[in-house]
Amino acid sequence: MPIGLGFVFWDCDFVSDGCPAGTVFLGRPWRPTGKTAVLDCRLGAHIAPEGFSPWQSRTDSDLACFVEAGSTGEGAAAARCMGEAAGQPAGRRAAQMCTEALQAGIKAESIK
């Protein structure tokens, strides 16, 4: 996984007041190494079924790491991943691997 934490949403509520169902993405890699983890959250119906979306015509998104696992609600999926995470085991294991890498990054950042 590339260095850096990216966005981590853990035990959060994703709610909407008026967004149509399936129209909001959990993340899009603006850079080749973008990262987002959505773990154990509650997701409303406004979250798009695919969860994550490529950024326009980028062809290097395979370096990104986007995962969602353990979430509940109308917009949740058993597990979703994009980029580097897509080659990893699905579901809780992908989330666990992402979490371990993020925690290692947090420890490394706190040492600096």
What are the tens digits of pLDDT across the range 13-61?
999 999 999 999 888 877 777 788 888 899 999 999 888 887 777 777 6
In-domain check, residue 61: yes
The structure's pTM equals 0.71
In-domain check, residue 97: yes
In-domain check, residue 2: no
In-domain check, residue 104: yes
Answer for the pair 61, 33: CB distance below 8 angstroms, yes or no: no
In-domain check, residue 15: yes
Q: Give me the domain span that covers residue 74.
A: 7-111
How many domains does the chain contain in total?
Answer: 1
